[in-house]
């Protein structure tokens, strides 16, 4: 029984949705289940008591509550979720309004009015929720004080009607304040989470993806070629004689060199390509759906730009070069081997004179 209820509440939840979206889906499912249960039970009881108008209202509301949940699950789109929430709130407001008109069982129908503010605020948000509740309040005011003789079936005293509206407005204010505070807290937590994620996956010096972020991108790209049987290429670049730059000009100058080289590399890559700081003075290039020869052509152009354009550091123009090791990765090559092959190619570029692009070959 518990597993069935859990499955019902979590139906429509997707891993790729935001947490807030999944939470709203679950609350719609839960509210729908509770709404259907209560209105159906009270509707049957009213039917047995031969209170036909009340029974029709409650049983109709039960059907609409169930329908709102099915729309959300059946289509699974943002628009369908909006329609589902709108239907749910409208049904609740109309149900409560009719209970105000008829009085419900022994004139206890007005007590259900206090469900409207928190439910509306949660599903519609502060701005749209306040607008919807304002319209609902105006409708209730007109019912109680303008059209009471023509529309009201139940009989309420002036004191009861006025105090009901005052207390309803108080609950509306508290619900709006709570929803505003909850949304603010959620936004702050989400912003902090994104900042931590940014810091965890990006290098603070060059602002590039760091080794951890690059590893994630490599695994994602590798998983993609497992499904499509395509290939992609990676390259590891190393700044030639970087230690001498640090020794001669200092580490601050070395940091500036890394920043400027990272901007030079980034400016000449495609949008889908990924550049990461692999560690120290090493950079990792990830070229989706690119052969080794195509990647080598791109890197050769980068190598020429870097070697022929001096970099101004501490009032000195430095000609800096870089060596590149390239490897093409297929679904038959383990990712760790591909990285090792790119590193081996980089080593060969260094050993053969630096300032070169070397493509890995198993021959």
Q: Tell me, what CATH number does 253's domain have?
A: 3.30.70.270
* pLDDT computed for residue 21 by the predictor: 80
Q: Look up the domain containing 240 and give its range.
A: 211-359
pLDDT top residue among 12 and 226: 226
pLDDT single digits (tens) 169-199: 999 999 999 999 988 988 888 788 777 777 7
What predicted TM-score, i.e. pTM, was given to this entire model? 0.60
Residue 123: pLDDT band with limits 50, 70, 90? confident
pLDDT top residue among 53 and 324: 324
* pLDDT computed for residue 1 by the predictor: 63
Residue 190 sits in the same domain as residue 221: no
Within-domain flag for 205? no
* Across 229-256, average pLDDT: 91
Return d(Cα 153, Cα 322) in angstroms, integer: 87
Residue 154 sits in the same domain as residue 277: no
CA 83 to chain CA mean position, Å:
20
With 0-12 CB in 10 A as exposed, 13-18 as middle and 19+ as buried, what is 265? Answer: buried
pLDDT over 90 at 208, yes or no: yes
Residue 59 sits in the same domain as residue 158: yes
Where b means 16+ CB within 10 Å and e means fewer, 94-118 reads bbbbbbbbbbbeeeebbeebbbbbb
Within-domain flag for 206? no
Within-domain flag for 201? no
Residue 133 sits in the same domain as residue 36: yes
Q: How would DSSP label each residue in 19-75?
A: HHHHHHHHHHHHHHHHHHHHHHHHHHHHHHTT-HHHHHHHHHHHHHHHHHHHHHHHH
Residue 172 sits in the same domain as residue 240: no
Is residue 125 within 8 Å of residue 176, measured between CB atoms? Answer: no
Residue 84 sits in the same domain as residue 23: yes
* pLDDT computed for residue 341 by the predictor: 96
pLDDT over 60 at 363, yes or no: no
Within-domain flag for 238? yes
* pLDDT computed for residue 56 by the predictor: 87
Domain count for the chain, please give it: 2
pLDDT single digits (tens) 299-337: 999 999 998 888 887 777 888 999 999 999 998 999 999
Residue 16: pLDDT band with limits 50, 70, 90? confident
């Amino acid at each position: 029984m518990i597993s069935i209820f859990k499955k019902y509440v979590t139906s429509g939840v997707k891993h790729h949705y935001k947490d807030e979206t999944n939470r709203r889906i679950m609350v719609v499912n839960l509210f729908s289940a509770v709404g259907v249960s209560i209105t159906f039970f009270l509707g049957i009881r009213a039917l047995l008591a031969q209170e036909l108008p009340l029974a029709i209202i409650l049983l109709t509301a039960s059907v609409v509550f169930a329908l709102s949940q099915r729309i959300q699950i059946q289509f699974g789109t943002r628009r369908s979720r909006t329609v589902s929430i709108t239907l749910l709130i409208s049904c609740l407001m109309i149900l409560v309004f009719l209970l105000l008109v008829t009085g419900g069982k022994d004139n206890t129908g007005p007590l259900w009015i206090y469900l409207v503010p928190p439910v509306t605020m949660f599903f519609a948000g502060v701005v749209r929720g306040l607008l919807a509740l304002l319209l609902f309040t105006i409708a209730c005011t007109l019912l109680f004080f303008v059209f009471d003789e023509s529309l009201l079936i139940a009989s309420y005293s002036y004191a009861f009607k006025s105090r009901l509206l005052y207390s309803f407005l108080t609950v509306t204010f508290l619900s709006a304040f709570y929803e505003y505070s909850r949304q603010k807290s959620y936004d702050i937590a989400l912003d902090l989470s994104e900042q931590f994620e940014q810091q965890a996956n990006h290098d603070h010096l060059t602002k590039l993806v760091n080794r951890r972020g690059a590893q994630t991108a490599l695994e994602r790209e590798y998983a993609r070629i497992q499904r499509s049987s395509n290939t992609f290429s990676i390259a590891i670049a190393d700044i030639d004689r970087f230690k001498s730059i640090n020794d001669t000009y200092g580490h601050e100058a070395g940091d500036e060199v890394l920043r400027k080289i990272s901007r030079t590399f980034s400016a000449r890559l495609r949008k889908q390509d990924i550049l990461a700081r692999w560690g120290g003075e090493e950079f990792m290039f990830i070229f989706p759906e690119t052969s080794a020869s195509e990647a080598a052509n791109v890197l050769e152009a980068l190598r020429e730009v870097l070697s022929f354009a001096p970099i101004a550091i501490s009032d000195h123009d430095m000609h800096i070069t870089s060596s590149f090791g390239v490897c093409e990765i297929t679904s038959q090559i383990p990712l760790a081997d591909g990285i090792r092959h790119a590193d081996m190619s980089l080593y060969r570029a260094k050993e053969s004179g630096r300032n070169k692009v070397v493509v890995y070959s198993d021959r």
